[in-house]
Amino acid sequence: MVQHHNFNYNKEFRLESGRSLPEFDLFYSTLGNLNENKDNVIWVCHAFSGSSNVTDWWPGLFGPGKLYDPERHYIICVNMPGSCYGSTGPLTINPRTGKKYYHDFPQLTNRDMVYCFELLRQSLGIEKVHTLIGCSMGGQQAIEWSIICPEVFEHLIAIGANAQHSPWGIAFNETQRMAIETDPTWSHQTDDAGVEGMKTARATALLSYRHYAQYQKTQQETSDSNWDNFRAGSYQRYQGEKLVKRFNAFTYYLLSKAMDSQNVGRKRGGVIKALEKIKAKSLFVGIDKDILFPTNEQKFLAEAVTNGYYEELQSDYGHDGFLLEFEKLAASINNFYSKSKLKKIYAAKS
């Protein structure tokens, strides 16, 4: 059974920007129990719009009888700060003013978020983590954390992630923020400010999460007679409507900027020097049709990290393949753990 918890850090928390949070809460979920040797911790970093309840969005990997079984593992997933599923974010109360933050919430970076996670880890007394696993934006955070605390993590698994966010990825995110900014309600100090713009932002994002091949399979017209109201158009609108039922534009805007901030080389002498600090045995999974985090980014990571390996998933879903290709992903991870069928990327090229 999933258990939910809250961690309160009641001191000022300084951010990379120079601003600070007067305090913060982290909402996190756990499954299973810590064993006697305290060596069965699986720590999950969720993706952009995910939550701490990993069984909601990654049920193919987590749960009874799955790769990560709570009968054997102690599983922790934290709702990243700035998100809207329990952790401190734009719609929570600012203790300094007694009002919701809204536009006044300070910008966070992935590095800021990881330092929040680290404070929670220390408070829980967890000295070693068997596996730190993250996907997409969560994978970015997992890589960052493995650099900050190289002695803590035995295994690192990052799926569809990168060491530095690309100009292409930043351009996608900026376009989404522009859509939110065009919403005339975006300047309002209300929970629903910018939601119409966010619908367009989400529809735009989906084009980077999926691939041409998948749209061909699922959104193709069934008749040659149609000249308007196409399935693909309805699908895009549906995805926007679906997100506004569980998300807000302030969080969307904030987290997209945090994703853009990804650069593990910042103030560390460059990306290569930073990645050389990672000591965990590391698996970097690429998805062959991922246009947002293309496979060259994961191959680069595998080459740069001393104990880094690369596996590639074949998926017409594109970037979203990490959410849907459970059997393929589990097989890649099992290969990694068993050290079978693994090659360093330079060997795989031959």
Residues recognised as catalytic: 136, 290, 319
Give which of 158, 155, 114 is closest to 293, Cα–Cα.
158
Q: Rounded CA gap, 208 and 257, in Å?
A: 16
The alpha carbon dihedral of 10, 11, 14, 20 has a sign of: positive
List the Cα angle 91/92/98 in 5-degree steps.
Answer: 115
Q: Rounded CA gap, 253 and 239, in Å?
A: 17
Asked if 208 and 175 count as a contact pair (C-beta separation under 8 A), the reply is no
Count of helices and strands (H, E) across the chain = 13, 12
Pairs from 85-88 (Cβ < 8 Å, separation ≥ 24): 85/27, 85/51, 85/52, 86/4, 86/6, 86/25, 86/27, 86/52, 87/24, 87/25, 87/26, 87/27, 88/21, 88/23, 88/24, 88/25, 88/26
Asked if 154 and 128 count as a contact pair (C-beta separation under 8 A), the reply is yes
Q: Rounded CA gap, 148 and 68, in Å?
A: 25
Give which of 286, 287, 285 is closest to 315, Cα–Cα.
287
List the Cα angle 333/335/336 in 5-degree steps.
Answer: 65
Give strand ranges (E) for the chain.
3-9, 13-14, 20-21, 24-31, 41-45, 74-78, 93-94, 99-100, 129-135, 153-159, 281-287, 308-313
